[in-house]
Amino acid sequence: MSSASENSSPKLSKNIEKVARSLFADAETQQAFLRAVEQGESGVTGVVWLYGDPQPGIFATGARPEWLPAWIDVAAEGERPGKLPAHEQGELYCMDLSSTFACAALSAIPEQGGVIVDVCASPGGKGIVARRYLQPGLVVGNEVIGKRTAQLISNYKRCRIDPSVVTSLDPENLGSEIPQSADLVIVDAPCSGQSLLLKGMAAPGAFHPATIGMNERRQRRILAHSQKVVAPGGYLLYATCTFSREENEDNVEWFLKTFPEFSAVEVPVLEGYRSHIGEASTYRLLPHQGKGAGAFCALLRRQPTEGRFERQSPDSVTAKLRTAWRSPTLFVSRAPSSSERRERKHDDKKKRAAKYERHKTKQMLRRLE
């Protein structure tokens, strides 16, 4: 998918220069961006304290960007908070500092409680941080790639994200199963991953137009189905870790034109990072700003209904979902729905039939001996 020149020297490719020109009109800013991409960055770790105030003194901290709430620290270079007992005990969650930038958009949501649905959830960081911001009644972590649910479940268990459920549904199915049920939907969209190059990670062809176009189309499909889950008056957080405007501002512009019942929400703590591209309130962290590898986010709100709208309870949402995992509270407090009972009965019947077949096969083999 990527050009030969991009494979041999991705940081000097013409595709990267093309992206720079599409983002910045002046040559000086283009060059600052290109130098930052070429130099890369060692990575800065944000430490999210999930319960209570930060514990001072257990690791050295660095400079704090202005978007961070008091319960997120910045680990100093060389510190490894992920090795601490507090991490193993689920007291903290570590994530790239750029990811905390996108999460900061949640500070503009005044209401707490309700239901959070993280559509592209694994490994779970955005949903875990959203829980700390908003204290919801339920977190639904959805990951369409089944093998990635193991890491998501592991992080939910370690961090005691309860009540929560994990599902593995295509966004189209998610939208049809729990329409207008979430107070917040998070779309941390799969993208070309251009900022990963700054961290020394593999992102082959990330700046190639074909890669950008493919991701743009995929993101629009995910957004179109995910918006169905947003309740009237609810929010959709769109985030990527890439630079191309096609995957960022252009997608937001398309979304707002396609779904005019949504509008972009201003985020005061990110005002200094407002994107100059397009008219909507969107926000960018750029590598030459020296505060992380890069991120993009937009907070979108569906207008409330004029009449009475019955918000769905966490129990009603979980009753509609076939889940891959449930947190302990939900295991204890909620009886299975009628559809789940039918599915379990069907599964038990298949298991009994398979067991019977194994038994008959063993008997036959014994007679043949």
Residue with tokens 């493919």: 214
pLDDT value at 354 more than 90: no
Residues 164-178: tens digit of each pLDDT: 999 999 999 999 999
Distance of alpha carbon 244 from alpha carbon 233, whole angstroms: 30
Confidence of residue 232 (pLDDT cuts 50, 70, 90): very high
Q: Indicate whether 1 pLDDT > 60.
A: no
pLDDT surpasses 50 at 4: no
First CA to last CA across the chain, in angstroms?
58
Instruction: State how far the Cα of 205 lies from the Cα of 146, in Å rounded to an integer.
Output: 25
Can you give the pLDDT at residue 71? Answer: 98
User: How far is 37 from 10, CA to CA, in rounded Å?
Assistant: 10
Q: Where are the beta strands (DSSP E) in 267-352?
A: 283-285, 295-302, 325-326
Close Cβ partners of 262 (under 8 Å, ≥ 6 residues apart): 227, 236, 255, 256, 300, 301, 302, 303
Checking if the pLDDT of 9 tops 50, the result is no
CA dist., res. 52 & res. 43, Å (int): 26
- On average, the pLDDT of the chain sits at 90
Q: Which of 10, 339, 352, 57 is nearest to 200 (CA)?
A: 10
pTM: 0.86
Q: Is pLDDT larger for residue 235 or for residue 356?
A: 235
Question: Over 70: is that where the pLDDT of 6 sits?
Answer: no
